[in-house]
Structure 1
């Protein structure tokens, strides 16, 4: 995990930990982590929460340094966090992720510049609360993209420029961006991003891209952006999956469709829930969806039985085998969280459940699925 940029070393707790040459924190060489095992095929990353960045613990830093070679801020770089008020930018939490990445010799994914969610209402309104004009919102969008990307220019592998612009049928989502600017808001966002940093990679990112209609919509967006001269470098498949769905053939067909469109594929937010899906909520990652808590929807509060551990391992093995099959075009697999305790799946789509969606348990110890993925590559 070689360092590829230089930033000031992190002060305080992280500084005292240090990293050795293979990217692990501490003085003793660590066993090869997951990223080391897969380094000739694709990057293996993780999403890091704001509280993990602001209150790092040594064991956590050791794990992140040793196991992953590309980091995504779970929330710290979203508009709501980094640009909460007009003219006010808060970079402190995001800066800590760059410090951690430098210390660990890891790369950074910028997430995300344009999204309908976790964006303050003021972005779309004038001082009287009325919707902005197209030109005013475009100017506001350009300012945000340029300011954020310029701060981290040369230090980011790539940016999720636009997140979740599609409906499930592949049509454009009726977001404030779409209503005020029009369907060319993606083109404008990619143009602003390319102007801000001509060298970084630019991505479109969405969930449920295993569905044929939705991936067809993503292919259409790629073609529109290409025609406008701002073709994405990759499309991000979020991959919030379950041990029950989707069929692996669906995922493969979507990867094939995106490759045929001329872009690489990034697996950007991978997790695999073992819990039942509420009947009232469509499978996916629409954070506006939710269901009431019921005991039957939370069956593993005392731990995950061996049979379910094995099913989880088999699901991850099937997915990683598929990603390896297309490793000429799948350049990154990012897990959406570090361990089960920090996974958003504990609270989506039902709050207060106990899920086991990641590779490390609530004590940050490797689970059977972790060892299965290591054996897969040996």
Structure 2
């Protein structure tokens, strides 16, 4: 993660909802769930969903339904999952999530159509050995976007169309897409997605773009240029993967506001706040201020339509598997007990816009 300068962030009380003799925080069954408070604040509150956990863990399934009015597929809409063999599709996981959401009155965010990572082996190997040339690659990309978006037409309210295309210094990432197709692939992806579902809102999406910096400014300049050309770039997604050992990003609301001024929606799409383990009360309190800081920025910006956490329980968080010695990054602990971060999000939603 990028090191950010730390502005003043007022310490949040993160009042415990209930505290037992062990000090473990739990949310009362009688408290309004996050989704009820979010509805009142005119916001989608979402989570990325682990489909294996959804199938096997009844507590996870119940809390996912209770707390959130929006869901994102953590992995099952990514290209390596939906087309593991060329021309052979596996929509089972994505379909299951869409059905789950429909039955529980939840909206669905689509993630993600164009990315440099989690691509199927047949695609990457074909590009590497030259059996897939640039012209064929462009056709493959168009078919992938069109096929997936059309399948879920009318069922996805926001799509992360193009994901993580810039480096930290604002230069374009040297992905296979840039190497083989040039920068025009970005505009093409949005045009193809829009043609497949004209009503879905189409987003750019990246990490380390919470505040105003070289990377977020590169996105701003790109969005401004593409929109002036009539390309349907309609949203800017801020992932929000933070860590308490680094400073809170500066001028988050100002960053959102400049995209709003272009006529775009904004969203926090993958929020979690990790820490160096073990956790302790001081770290947990600081974590709560980070969650609340991002949420307040969203609530303070009319264009910010959704706030999604990347998993809500430490039991299924991706963080420990990627960042050695770090974790405890979500709203609930491994036993589904509420942490101060959960209380902070509740307080923020209750305060509203």
- Show CA shifts across 1:301-342 (max 9, x none): xxx32222222222222222222221x111100000130121
Unmatched tracts of structure 2, length 5 or more? 1-28
Contact 2:48 2:73 in 1 (8 A): yes
Partner of 2:217, secondary structure, is: helix
Q: Runs of 5+ in structure 1 lacking a partner? A: 1-28, 276-298
User: Residues of 1 paired with 2:280 and 2:295: CA distance?
Assistant: 23
1:285 corresponds to which residue?
Answer: none
Aligned to 2:21: none
Q: Which residue of 2 aligns with 1:339?
A: 313
Q: Which residue of 2 aligns with 1:290?
A: none
Q: CA deviation at 1:211?
A: 4.8
Aligned partners of 2:172 and 2:131: how far apart in 1?
Answer: 20
TM-score, normalization by structure 1? 0.80
The residue number in structure 1 matching 2:346 is 374
CA distances 1:318-371 after superposition (whole Å, capped 9, x unpaired): 222222221x11110000013012111112232xx4521111110122222212
- Residue in structure 1 matched with residue 328 of structure 2 by the alignment: 356
Counterpart Cα distance in 1 of 2:126 and 2:73: 30
Match of 2:289 in 1: 314
Contact 2:53 2:61 in 1 (8 A): no
SS class of match (2:308): strand
Cα distance per residue 1:266-305 (max 9 Å; x no partner): 1000001122xxxxxxxxxxxxxxxxxxxxxxx41xxx32
After superposing on structure 2, the runs of 4+ consecutive aligned residues of structure 1 that deviate more than 4 Å are 124-128
CA distance in 2 between partners of 1:47 and 1:370 (Å): 16
Are 1:189 and 2:189 matched, yes or no?
Answer: yes
Pairs within 5 Å for 1:233-244: 233-244=234-245
Query: Larger relative contact order (C-alpha < 8 A, sep ≥ 6)?
Result: 2
1:122-176 superposed Cα distances (whole Å, 9 cap, x missing partner): 3255499216332211111111111111111111112111100111111211100
Q: What is the CA–CA distance in structure 2 between the aligned matches of 1:246 and 1:71, rounded to whole Å? A: 28
The alignment's C-alpha RMSD in Å is 2.0
Q: CA deviation at 1:59?
A: 1.7
8 Å CA contact 1:248–1:318 kept in 2: the answer is: no
1:257 is matched with: 258
Q: For the residues of structure 2 that align with 1:41 and 1:105, how far apart are their CA atoms? A: 15
The answer to whether the Cα contact below 8 Å between 1:124 and 1:132 also exists between their aligned partners in 2 is: no
Rate the CA distance shift 1:312–1:134 in 2: closer, same or farther, 3 A.
same
Structure 1: distance between partners of 2:272 and 2:127: 41
- Deviation for aligned residue 1:43: 0.8
Query: Which residue in the other structure is 1:73 paired with?
Result: 73
Aligned to 2:232: 231
**CA distance in 2: counterparts of 1:76 and 1:143, whole angstroms:** 18
Number of residue-to-residue matches in the alignment: 320
Q: Structure 2 CA distance, aligned partners of 1:141 and 1:45?
A: 28
Give yes or no for contact 1:30–1:66 (8 Å, CA) kept in 2.
Answer: no
Q: TM-score, normalised by structure 2?
A: 0.85
